[in-house]
Amino acid sequence: MGEAAPLLSIPDAPVPPGSVAFWYAGADGARLRAARFAPALAAGAAPRGSIVLSPGRSEPIEKYVEVIGRLTRMGFVVLVHDWRGQGLSHRALRDRLLGHARGWAPFLSDFRRLLDGQADDLPRPWIAIGHSMGGCLTLLALAEGESRFAGAFLSAPMLGMQTGAVPRPAARALSFILTRIGRAGAPVPGPQETVPTPFADNILTHDPARYGRFLAQLAAAPDLRLGLPTWGWLDFAFSATRRLAHGPGTPRISIPVSVLVAEAEKLVDNAAARSIVARLPRGRIASVPGAYHELFQETDARQAQVWAALEALLAEAGV
């Protein structure tokens, strides 16, 4: 484990006890942040296993403190990380608000290095949880040969994207061309995802308290913010989802994979998710009625379906 790293704690989102945050080196030496959380156990009890939690685009570790607390109370060691390009991890561009990427391979290399470095501190079995972009990259890691997990739970995974008024083929072609003619670092026009939007206008959650809590975290630690994606990030996203939809690795994933999508989704493509899940030997997919994209930040009633689906996945995985 590397040197200690900071974790933001605010009154509405205190860091769970038993936390250890640290820096680690990505495949190219990038300085990346992760944190491990100890389970809440009775005296003499052993951990139930380990959860590796991979957030979505723009989401830092701190956004998941409520989720982490629930998982540790369930008896799991929890490992969470900031993907490169967000949170407090290395950002490739001078303008740190631009969400940039250079293909999917660096993300998977970082993920493998994190797991390798933490393996001795993560009791088996391992379960992967990924949200949105984190769900896409988790599934891609499995498709590219990561074999240490007993099961995977994907929340509103980015297995395809909604592109609004621009037809998807045109957006894919434009991102491909601009990335290869030196415009990879230019922002894709669109709304800033983490600029405070009035709750009534948001498309992420129906829960005002959870929505406000994340805005309070960003106000307390502006370095956690992330804004527009670049054309390079968009090209990465199209490349990663195409690999899952057509590559040889997806049908070779032998563990149970449970995918939960949001019925009122405005960001990712649920039809693409269903198509990719159909390629998985042990894949299943369900929809949360009326939910927006951030299922782990939704209202208690909608979250109840998320946690029930996770428990079903754990049972199938024998955890």
Total count of domains within the chain: 1
The better pLDDT of the pair 281, 44 is held by 281
In residues, how long is the chain? 319
Is the residue at 302 inside a domain?
Answer: yes
pLDDT in tens, 144-163: 999 999 999 999 999 999 99
84 SS3 class: coil
Kindly write down the DSSP assignment for every residue of 18-80, as one continuous string: SEEEEEEE-TTS-EEEEEEE-----TTPPP-EEEEEE--TT--GGGGHHHHHHHHHTTEEEEE
Averaged pLDDT for residues 226-237: 96
Averaged pLDDT for residues 117-143: 98
Could you tell me the pLDDT band of residue 17, with boundaries at 50, 70 and 90?
confident
pLDDT in tens, 169-196: 999 999 999 999 999 999 998 765 545 6
Is the residue at 301 inside a domain?
Answer: yes
Instruction: Decide if pLDDT at 3 tops 70.
Output: yes
Identify whether the C-beta of residue 51 lies closer than 8 Å to the C-beta of residue 76.
yes
Is the residue at 4 inside a domain?
Answer: no
Averaged pLDDT for residues 233-254: 98
pTM of whole model > 0.85?
yes
Residue 195: other Cβ atoms inside 10 A: 12
Could you tell me the pLDDT band of residue 27, with boundaries at 50, 70 and 90?
confident
Is the residue at 12 inside a domain?
Answer: no
The better pLDDT of the pair 286, 195 is held by 286
- Residue span of the structural domain in which 136 resides: 19-316
* CATH code where residue 128 lies: 3.40.50.1820
